[in-house]
């Protein structure tokens, strides 16, 4: 037992070091800098809202403070339940929000590598093979394509679910069957996308493994696995309740969105623009969500493992799972996703089938581990160690990226400190974005609302309520009567106008028109960290 703990600690430490190296210079400024993207504001808001709601008696978790007066607004996107639970004690202890964000995001990368190591190590009995698989899963270009998406880094439950599934079929023990279900539930609570993908992939994997790789009687395996499935279904069903309520209002994703964010076969030849080796050559071919290049080395290793010796039953299963994940990632360009979209309602709320690229990476990592094992079979310890070191360094070189950073605020700019001292009331911030040019500054407004916690008319999420899109059309008239009538209808008490977002002399003209209209009382001009901003109270 002690030996296992020491090995886990050593592997975890190694992947932490590798994560620091692969995301350098992030480690130099963990407390205030992150990937320059508006989704980082959204991550910060979700983590802080979760911690706030847990200790605020009047707050209801899914009735978050954005898109006022809408309800259930946290369910417009992934609530990141597991990430929220992990972040809450750190935020309550007073750690800076950006630091907590970075610890969870980078920790998820390292944790994914450790989990993949555990799966490949179990399948191949080789620590070196586990290291190679872990590097593939933790640092392939897909990871950096989604460096701003907290929930899409929390993929460690995928390999752990398959590890538990193998142990279930090898031992027939209840603890492994329940662990399979627990990992599936945790993946759903960490990332709904990945939870749906894992549920589909592990169901197919279970059928294939039952047929080809089972060490216990069929009845025993089915009973134990059914216990795990019941656990996962129960947790997922309870978690789905607020999302189903929101879905009644916002509906399914459009086919245009799905087509836009589906992979093409060529997407698996495209690296991220910041990749040192391949970025300039290949990135121009891809678009958002469609940079899925897994690297040359893991593909060569996987092919070697399939050709140098007769592949094992498990290797064939992972090859079939890889093919299924690849084909499904093509969205309506393939057959599987079209079928799932038509007959499995959960798939109709997903926008980006290309995110199945993470499942392709997991299966490819396993096959690469088998490939390494096939190449070093019969060789001496020095040769095995040398090859493992060379392959690992080669993978890290293939995956190395430039990692741009932007500073995000940990404390409230002056105008929000002043607002927080006012009596509670609904807030609207301007300029509001156009409905056809989202998100504008809404993501930043959303995060900055965590420094006063008043209800906010603005908001940012994966899906926008139809009522908010209609409201934006009317707010374009601000400060004239049509917009003011909307603000009164929404019971708005405070309005913030950000001068830095308006060109001069438009800002001065806007202030003059507000004063002339008489509906807003100016409480003062204050800094919003970018320039002057004016706080008003609605009469």
**Which tens digit of pLDDT belongs to each residue from 410-427?**
999 999 999 999 999 999
The answer to whether residue 408 is domain-embedded is: no
What mean pLDDT do residues 497-505 have? 89
At residue 281, the pLDDT reads 62
Q: Are 52 and 449 in contact (CB under 8 A)?
A: no
The CB density around residue 205, as the number of other CB atoms within 10 Å, is 22
pLDDT single digits (tens) 7-39: 889 999 999 999 999 999 999 999 999 999 999
At residue 211, the pLDDT reads 84
Check residue 404 and report its DSSP letter. -
Closest CA to 225 of 160, 174, 186: 174
At residue 381, the pLDDT reads 86
Identify whether residues 302 and 434 lie together within a single domain: no
Identify whether residues 286 and 418 lie together within a single domain: no
Closest CA to 261 of 176, 180, 187, 193: 193
Identify whether residues 439 and 376 lie together within a single domain: no
At residue 285, the pLDDT reads 65
Identify whether residues 64 and 108 lie together within a single domain: yes
The answer to whether residue 85 is domain-embedded is: yes
Closest CA to 434 of 408, 470, 403, 485: 470
Q: List, in sequence order, every residue forming a beta bridge with 498; answer none if it has no partner.
A: 533
Q: Which residues contact 127 (CB under 8 A, 6 or more apart)?
A: 117, 121
Domain termination site, one of 353, 368, 399: 399
The answer to whether residue 87 is domain-embedded is: yes
The answer to whether residue 405 is domain-embedded is: no
At residue 213, the pLDDT reads 81
Q: Are 110 and 15 in contact (CB under 8 A)?
A: yes
Identify whether residues 161 and 301 lie together within a single domain: yes
214 pLDDT band, cuts 50/70/90, is confident
Q: Looking at the predicted structure, is the pLDDT value of residue 212 above 80?
A: no
Identify whether residues 260 and 313 lie together within a single domain: yes
Q: Looking at the predicted structure, is the pLDDT value of residue 218 above 80?
A: yes
Identify whether residues 255 and 128 lie together within a single domain: yes
Identify whether residues 372 and 442 lie together within a single domain: no
Alpha carbons 221 and 464: distance in angstroms, whole number: 44
Token pair belonging to 462: 């994966």
Identify whether residues 60 and 171 lie together within a single domain: yes
Domain termination site, one of 370, 399, 428: 399
Coil, strand, or helix at residue 467? helix
The answer to whether residue 532 is domain-embedded is: yes
Q: Looking at the predicted structure, is the pLDDT value of residue 217 above 90?
A: no
Domain termination site, one of 399, 434, 454: 399
User: Tell me, what CATH number does 457's domain have?
Assistant: 3.40.50
pLDDT single digits (tens) 371-383: 999 998 888 889 8
The answer to whether residue 338 is domain-embedded is: yes
pLDDT single digits (tens) 318-328: 999 999 999 99
The answer to whether residue 12 is domain-embedded is: no
Alpha carbons within 13 A on the beta-carbon side of 225: 25
Identify whether residues 358 and 474 lie together within a single domain: no
Q: Are 112 and 183 in contact (CB under 8 A)?
A: no
The answer to whether residue 187 is domain-embedded is: yes
What mean pLDDT do residues 235-252 have? 94
Q: Is the dihedral of CA 476, 481, 482, 485 positive or negative?
A: positive
pLDDT single digits (tens) 460-484: 999 999 999 999 999 998 999 999 9
Identify whether residues 318 and 458 lie together within a single domain: no
Q: What percent of the chain has pLDDT over 70?
A: 99
Question: Which domain, by its residues, includes 372?
Answer: 29-399
Based on the structure, what is the number of domains in the chain?
A: 2
Identify whether residues 238 and 322 lie together within a single domain: yes
């Amino acid at each position: 037992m002690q030996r296992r703990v020491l090995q886990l600690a050593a592997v975890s430490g190694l992947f932490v070091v590798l994560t620091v190296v692969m995301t350098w210079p992030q480690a130099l400024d963990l407390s205030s800098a992150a990937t320059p993207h508006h989704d980082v504001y959204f991550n910060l808001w979700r983590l802080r809202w979760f911690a706030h709601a847990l200790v605020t008696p009047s707050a209801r978790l899914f009735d978050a403070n954005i898109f006022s007066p809408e309800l259930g607004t946290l369910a417009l996107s992934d609530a990141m339940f597991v990430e929220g639970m992990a972040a809450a004690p750190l935020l309550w202890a007073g750690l800076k929000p950006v630091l907590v964000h970075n610890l969870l995001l980078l920790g998820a990368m390292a944790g994914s590598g450790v989990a993949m190591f555990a799966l490949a190590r179990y399948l191949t009995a080789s620590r070196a093979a586990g290291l190679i698989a872990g590097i593939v899963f933790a640092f392939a270009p897909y990871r950096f394509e989604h460096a701003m998406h907290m929930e899409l880094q929390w993929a460690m439950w995928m390999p752990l679910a398959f590890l538990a599934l193998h142990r279930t079929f090898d031992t027939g023990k209840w603890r492994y069957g329940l662990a399979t279900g627990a990992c599936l539930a945790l993946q759903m609570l960490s990332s709904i996308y990945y939870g749906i993908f894992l549920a589909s992939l592990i169901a197919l994997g279970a059928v294939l493994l039952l047929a080809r790789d089972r060490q216990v009687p069929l009845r025993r395996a089915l009973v134990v696995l059914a216990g795990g499935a019941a656990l996962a279904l129960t947790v997922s069903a309870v978690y789905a309740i607020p999302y189903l309520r929101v879905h009644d209002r916002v509906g399914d994703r459009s086919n245009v969105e799905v087509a836009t964010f589906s992979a093409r076969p060529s997407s698996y030849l495209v690296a991220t623009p910041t990749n040192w080796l391949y970025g300039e050559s290949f990135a121009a071919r891809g678009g958002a969500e469609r940079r899925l290049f897994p690297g040359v080395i893991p593909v060569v290793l996987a092919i070697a493992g399939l050709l140098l010796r007769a592949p094992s039953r498990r290797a064939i299963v992972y090859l079939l799972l890889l093919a299924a994940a690849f084909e499904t990632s093509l969205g309506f360009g393939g057959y599987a996703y079209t079928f799932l979209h038509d007959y499995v309602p959960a798939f109709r709320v997903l926008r980006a089938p290309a995110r199945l690229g993470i499942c392709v990476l997991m299966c490819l990592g396993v096959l690469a581990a088998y490939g390494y094992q096939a190449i070093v079979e019969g060789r001496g310890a020095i040769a095995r160690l040398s090859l493992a070191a060379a392959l690992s360094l080669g993978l890290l070189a293939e995956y190395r990226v430039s990692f741009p950073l932007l500073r995000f605020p940990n404390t409230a700019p002056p105008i929000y400190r002043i607002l927080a001292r006012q009596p509670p009331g609904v807030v609207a911030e301007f300029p509001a974005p156009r409905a056809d040019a989202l998100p504008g500054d809404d993501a930043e407004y959303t995060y900055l609302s965590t420094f006063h916690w008043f209800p906010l008319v603005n908001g940012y999420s994966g899906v926008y309520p139809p009522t908010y899109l209609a409201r934006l059309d009317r707010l374009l008239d601000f400060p004239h009567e049509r917009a003011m009538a909307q603000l009164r209808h929404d019971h708005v008490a405070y309005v913030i106008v950000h001068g830095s977002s308006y060109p001069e002399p438009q800002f001065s003209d806007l202030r003059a028109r507000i004063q002339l209209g008489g509906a807003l009382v100016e409480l003062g001009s204050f800094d919003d960290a970018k320039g002057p901003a004016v706080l008003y109270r609605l009469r």
